[in-house]
A and B are shown apart, each in its own frame.
Chain A
Amino acid sequence: MAKVVRGGNMFFEDDIRIIDSELDIPLNLPAPPIFSRDELQIVYNGHVYVASRGSQSTGRIKAYTMTFGLKETDSPKVQEDKYLSDNSTSINKQKQDFIERVVNGIADIDPSLPKTRAGSQISQELADRISKVYEKINKPQKQNPMGKGLITKLDDGSVFNSEMQGCERVLILDRKIYDLLTIPEYVSIFQNSFEPKFYKELEKQCQNLSPKEISRIISENTDKIHRKVVPKVRNKIWHSDRSSELYLDGTCWIPQYRSSGGGLVQIYQLLLEKKLKIEAARSIKW
């Protein structure tokens, strides 16, 4: 039982303990990056794209009659680093407050004293317990793509790319989330409303034809599709010169509304919070 002496007072290592009930206390973090950016964004395999007046070589997006190029913007790692550095004063203070709140008695220890084995142990124990508490985060399912094969996300070491699920291929607009579906994926939603033989033919043709041509085939075969489904399946693919279009990675994508982004933002915030708390635990100086 080592004694720690500071200012003439005596402390016992046994008095230094982790208060479990405080581990998941929320930090007061600003809105997390990526979701708080105030423009249309496309997150694709861990890369982030925005609409731009420039080149359309990477991809393009059309809304109503206007077409814009897609430009890759800062990676999630760069955005997270900027977020942490822009808010460093507040974040460092909150990390310190967290440690003092969650480790009983630590505030009384002189931080200039050399690091002890007990200090390292409590640091490791605290980091483990934080990880365990945050394992309970109800993460969304990974997206399950069919049309464009397996998703290989950018490995940039960001929380967003390493831990956030359900954001593999999404469009973010006004903090709402839209899944990006290939045309075959989108058509498959209505599979049961198609004559099976025609569905198989269309599925094959979807691989090679333009949205306009696919829309034309649907219009010419309305007797093979349930009447009420025809406008639903056709209009999102192509209905006129005023239709939306999104091309990226050589594929046409259809944004399909999933949810208001609130849930994902909250999860991302919790994952950032976990990272910061673990960093705080590892920085315990004693």
Chain B
Amino acid sequence: MVDERKHVGEIVKNLMPLHDLEYKVVFNLHENTFFQRLVSKDVLEKVRAKPEEYFKALIFLDYFSRVIDNDCSVCDNLENLSKALRDQERARNEDKGEKGPSYLTLETVVFETGLFAKEKLVKSGRKDIAKKEESEIKKRYLQEKPVDLSSPDSRKLDPFYEAIGEMVSSQVSDKLQPYLNSVKSRADIGAIVFADSVLSVLQDKVSIQEVQNKLAMNDCYSASISALKALMKESSIPKIQSSIEKNGS
């Protein structure tokens, strides 16, 4: 049986970096490697999330911004939301830093993203994602070239990247981790983390089952699209408010 940690580590080692940013301070070696391989600059520089959910939130948003939406505006929204919450904290003279609500939870990030996608759809006067748009998403998904681990030129796993594989795997819930064994590209990893993040907030059992069925067929792309559609239905301002309140209490 393939160890998903090793498999993901080898895939990640073979991905072309998205950028070469090195955060000399604050972040560790493995954290910087994770950023370079899996999170684009625009997402990285704008999002503030709880430390324990930070890396998952980044992959979730990177997948949404680069593959689904082809735009980073949702990160601007999240940045503004964080700033507004921080200003409120400061006005109350109780800046709690990362323990306070200005460091968003994954739930807030997911619902805000869902609402953003929903509003975009409403503005365009459509009820569902248009076929043309879906084919554009698919095109961007497929632009992320799959890694061919059987190629003699592929880079072989080493302990450091095994640890990176562990880091990526641990962003995915236990139930979905086995699906990581089939990932071949950055987009596959993004799609699983995206679907997993959405599943963690969805209420509708039919939608949950649909996403899980697609993952079970190793169709990460379709699972992420089903997750997006279900998320758009369930996202609302009260849900965002509720997640912020839970975070602040």
Contact = CB atoms under 8 A, between A and B. Distances in A.
8 contacts: A38-B158, A40-B159, A50-B158, A64-B30, A64-B170, A65-B163, A173-B29, A257-B32
A257 B51 CA distance: 23
B168 to A, nearest CB: 9
A232 B25 contact: yes
B120 to A, nearest CB: 35
Contacts of B20: 260
B106 to A, nearest CB: 17
Interface in A134-184: 171, 173-174, 176, 178
Contacts of A64: 30, 163-164, 166-167, 170
Interface in B158-208: 158-160, 162-164, 166-167, 170
Contact of A40 (B25, B158, B167): B158
B24 A256 contact: yes
A188 interface: no
Which 7 A-B residue pairs are closest in the complex by CB-CB distance?
A63-B163, A39-B158, A232-B25, A51-B159, A244-B28, A66-B163, A63-B30
B22 interface: yes
Interface string B19-56: 01010111111101100000000000000000100000
Interface stretch (A105-113, A124-132, A199-207, A235-243): A235-243
Given A173-B33, A244-B30, A63 B160 contact: yes
B83 interface: no
Interface of B: 20, 22, 24-30, 32-33, 51, 155-156, 158-160, 162-164, 166-167, 170
B17 to A, nearest CB: 8
A68 B157 CA distance: 14
A260 B27 CA distance: 17
Interface string A62-90: 11111010000000000000000000000
B28 A243 contact: yes
A235 B30 CA distance: 13
B51 A240 contact: yes
A255 interface: yes
Given A38-B155, A256-B24, A260-B20, A244 B162 contact: no
A243 B167 CA distance: 11
Nearest to A255: B29
Contacts of B167: 63-65, 242
Residue from B25, B27, B51, B164 whose CB has the most chain A CB atoms within 10 Å = B25
Contacts of A191: none
A263 interface: no
Given A39-B160, A40-B158, A260-B20, A66 B28 contact: no
A50 B51 CA distance: 30
A63 B29 contact: yes
A239 B24 CA distance: 15
A260 B32 CA distance: 14
B166 A65 contact: yes
A51 B30 CA distance: 14
A49 to B, nearest CB: 12
Contacts of B24: 256-257
Nearest to B25: A232
